[in-house]
Amino acid sequence: MKRFFYILITILLFLFIFDKLTLLFVRKGNGYGTDVLDFYAQKNNSIDIVFLGSSHTYSSFNPYIIEDKTNLNGYDFATQQQPIWITYFYLKELLKYQDPKYVIIDVHMLVSMNSDYAYEQVNRDAIDKMRFSLNKISMINKCVKKDERAAYYFNIIKYHSRYKELSDNDYDTIFKGRTVNNKGYIALKYKNRIFDYDEVGINDDIMEIGKKSEVYLDKIIRLSKNKNYKLIFVKTPAIYSEVEYSKLNYINKYLTDRGEIFIDFVKKNDELDLDYKKDFYDSGHLDKEGSEKFSNYFVKYLKEV
């Protein structure tokens, strides 16, 4: 028994040190949405409303405005170009620590994702700093190509050469718990891009989305059945082409046929009073002023659902 105890302690000590070294070497911060480490720093069961999805999510929903207007503590648990299968695993991770009242999911990547796997940097931003767990293992297995998975199970394979560039920020993350404390929200600066409402390709055509996307959309719906939160799917304001909007029509039908809540904000620009000359960072993202308008409007909508 004594020998078994020493072996067990040695293994646990190794795993602890390995975990800390892995986190030390991995790249810190995130200019593209949530810093997952900051999500883990949130008090358990403290988030009332969570926003999931891609950059269309973290540049549109301003949690500070929403909290000020509703007293609902919000968080943008979103990363750049986040495909719906990563959103599914993020939702599972969220539910391990939080018991939200609302889960809001932007569907942009259902429209734009044409492959079964995302780019490496997309996966890295979403996966690298997640706590090691069965959910993370499953996420890697489903979201990363087989021959690339080892470097996600063991991040140190990818980042071991960073020992040459370690900074105070890396050490403060390990020993002081430093995170990017922004509720996942990124305020984009106005870039003097001028658009016109006529550029929005609203139509009645229907075009199917990717099969893998549809599978994980269904998984999210099934996961959310009999949960305490209200699930709401949205498309935040964007300037969609006719092809993109045709896919949005398919998503709209898919969700409404299943009794899910879906709101298309691309169609609601008159109500939102968005200015195509001032409120868009580019064709897909609102700038800071646009997100403030949208967030204030969303609060009014939230009170009605």
Taking only the tens place, the pLDDT of each residue in 101-143 is 999 999 999 999 999 999 999 999 999 999 999 999 999 999 9
Task: Provide the number of structural domains found in the chain.
Answer: 1
Q: Is residue 109 part of a domain?
A: yes
Q: Is residue 15 part of a domain?
A: no
pTM above threshold 0.95: no
Return the pLDDT at 49: 98
Q: What is the per-residue burial (b if ≥16 Cβ within 10 Å, else e) of 247-274?
A: bbbbbbebbeeeebebbbbbebbeebeb
Mean pLDDT value of segment 214-226: 97
For residue 18, is pLDDT > 80? no
For residue 272, is pLDDT > 90? no
Q: Is residue 163 part of a domain?
A: no
Q: Is residue 167 part of a domain?
A: no
What is the spatial distance between Cα 37 and Cα 301, in angstroms, rounded to a whole number? 31
Q: Is residue 141 part of a domain?
A: yes
What is the spatial distance between Cα 276 and Cα 239, in angstroms, rounded to a whole number? 9
Residue 181's pLDDT band (cuts 50, 70, 90): confident
CATH code: domain of residue 271: 3.40.50.1110
> Across the chain, what does the average pLDDT equal?
91
Residue 150's pLDDT band (cuts 50, 70, 90): very high
Q: Is residue 227 part of a domain?
A: yes
Return the pLDDT at 25: 67
Q: Could you tell me the sign of the dihedral formed by the alpha carbons of 290, 293, 299, 305, in that order?
A: negative
Mean pLDDT value of segment 46-71: 97
Return the pLDDT at 159: 80
What would the pLDDT profile of 184-205 be if each residue is shown by its tens digit?
A: 999 999 877 777 777 789 999 9
Phi and psi torsions of 231, nearest 5°: -95, 125
Q: Is residue 25 part of a domain?
A: no
For residue 175, is pLDDT > 70? yes
Domain that holds residue 281: 30-147+182-302
Residue 4's pLDDT band (cuts 50, 70, 90): confident
Return the pLDDT at 174: 77
**Greatest CA span in the chain, whole angstroms?**
76
* Residue scoring higher pLDDT (18 or 231): 231
Q: Is residue 94 part of a domain?
A: yes
* Residue scoring higher pLDDT (171 or 240): 240
